[in-house]
């Protein structure tokens, strides 16, 4: 589709009038002195997960990616509405049981929805609308709050989900407590492979981090890395009217993940910049801020000049183009020399 997902979103925002609530991770609504965040996300068999994935794992994945949008606004989850497309009773019950159990863990109540047959026989299609509330002691986070001079941070490992996806394409699945891995995988890579498959199929929304950032003054900008670090950084900068520089030395995968990337013949830097589906937060803090939250680290800085650059380990500064997943193009978008 010409223009892709971002082009369609911009067109819709213009069509809808002010469009001020369209384009962020979640829409923020004020009601009775309270601030609510609303978002919807979709998971479809053979698009977002393999058709033979355990329905319980598909349910947990849908909830996680949906709640990640609330994390990016600093909201606490409250309620959810489910639209489920399924044509098998056992599949439906297993999916719903897992969704309800995991929802309770996050303090979210399933309050209704709709059921229908899926788009193709034997498939599972599901959309979840989640509603959260920004605590009275906090402030909402938004993509457009970055300021030149701010440091750019990530909330956890970036790029490992891309390795997990490659293993899933080679047959890895979640089965019970441990991932089922390809039989020909070298034994010294099993631990890393198990971790990255879980990161891809069962991500964890960073709700605690979003709440912690909302309590800061000022709270700064935030976005969840769903489509790729480079493309989501570009979205944050575009919303804020800024640019950014990312530091290659801060984008390195863990040593065991680098070895796994080599075995899978994947470029580790490209996996970090364009792999997507990490579902960790990308956020800004004032320069030289001491922020002590597990897994968080600075990866660059916000600039006044539009556009993005990559500072190589050797000191060279190169243009960086938005690269990541485009849901409407069904491919990676942009171009990167990384």
Assess if residue 311 is contained within a domain.
Answer: yes
273 alpha-carbon distance from chain centroid = 13
Residue 1 has pLDDT above 90, yes or no: no
Give residue-wise pLDDT tens across range 243-300: 999 999 999 999 999 999 999 999 999 999 999 999 999 999 999 898 999 999 999 9
pLDDT at site 177: 73
Residue 311 has pLDDT above 70, yes or no: yes
Same structural domain, 182 and 127 = no
Same structural domain, 164 and 296 = yes
Same structural domain, 116 and 167 = no
Residue 117: which CATH number? 3.30.1330.10
Assess if residue 209 is contained within a domain.
Answer: yes
Which range of residues forms the domain containing residue 261? 143-333
Question: Hey, which residues does 77 pair with through a beta bridge?
Answer: 132
Same structural domain, 167 and 271 = yes
Our count of domains for the chain comes to: 2
Spatial separation of the C-alpha atoms in residues 23 and 12, rounded to whole Å = 9
pTM of the model: 0.89
Spatial separation of the C-alpha atoms in residues 128 and 65, rounded to whole Å = 10
Same structural domain, 171 and 268 = yes
Radius of gyration of the chain, Cα coordinates, nearest whole angstrom: 19
Mean pLDDT value of segment 135-141: 94
| Mode of pairing for the β-strands spanning 178-180 and 317-320 | unpaired
CA distances from 215 to 209, 259, 282, 299 (A): 10, 39, 16, 22
pLDDT band at 137 (very low <50, low <70, confident <90, very high): very high
Same structural domain, 150 and 297 = yes
Mean pLDDT value of segment 195-206: 96
Residue 182: which CATH number? 3.90.650.10
Assess if residue 149 is contained within a domain.
Answer: yes
């Amino acid at each position: 589709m010409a223009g892709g997902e971002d082009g369609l979103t911009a067109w819709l925002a213009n069509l809808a009038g002010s469009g001020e609530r369209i384009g962020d991770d979640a829409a923020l609504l004020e009601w009775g002195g309270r601030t609510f965040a609303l978002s919807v996300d979709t998971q479809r068999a053979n698009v977002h997960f393999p058709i033979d994935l355990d329905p319980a794992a598909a349910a947990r994945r849908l909830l996680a990616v949906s709640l990640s949008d609330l994390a990016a606004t600093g909201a606490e989850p409250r309620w959810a509405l489910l639209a489920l497309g399924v044509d098998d009773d056992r599949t439906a019950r297993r999916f719903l049981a897992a969704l309800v159990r995991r929802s309770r863990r996050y303090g979210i109540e399933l309050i209704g929805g709709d059921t229908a047959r899926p788009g193709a026989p034997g498939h599972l299609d599901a959309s979840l609308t989640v509603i959260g509330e920004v605590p009275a002691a906090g402030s909402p986070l938004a993509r457009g709050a970055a300021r030149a001079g701010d440091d750019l941070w990530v909330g956890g490992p970036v790029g490992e989900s891309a390795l997990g996806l490659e293993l899933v394409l080679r047959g890895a699945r979640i089965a019970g407590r441990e991932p089922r891995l390809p039989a020909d995988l070298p034994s010294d890579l099993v631990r890393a492979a198990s971790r990255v498959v879980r990161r891809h199929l069962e991500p964890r929304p960073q709700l605690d981090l979003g709440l912690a950032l909302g309590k800061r003054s000022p709270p700064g900008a935030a976005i969840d890395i769903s489509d790729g670090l480079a493309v989501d950084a570009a979205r944050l900068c575009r919303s804020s009217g800024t640019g950014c520089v990312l530091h290659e030395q801060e984008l390195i995968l863990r040593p065991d993940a680098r070895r796994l990337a080599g075995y899978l013949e994947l470029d580790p830097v490209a996996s970090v910049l364009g792999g997507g589906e990490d579902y960790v937060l990308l956020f800004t803090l004032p320069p030289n801020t001491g922020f002590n939250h597990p897994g968080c680290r600075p990866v660059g800085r916000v600039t006044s000049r539009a556009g993005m650059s990559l500072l190589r380990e050797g000191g060279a500064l190169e243009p960086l183009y938005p690269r990541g997943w485009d849901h409407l193009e069904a491919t990676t978008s942009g171009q990167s020399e990384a």
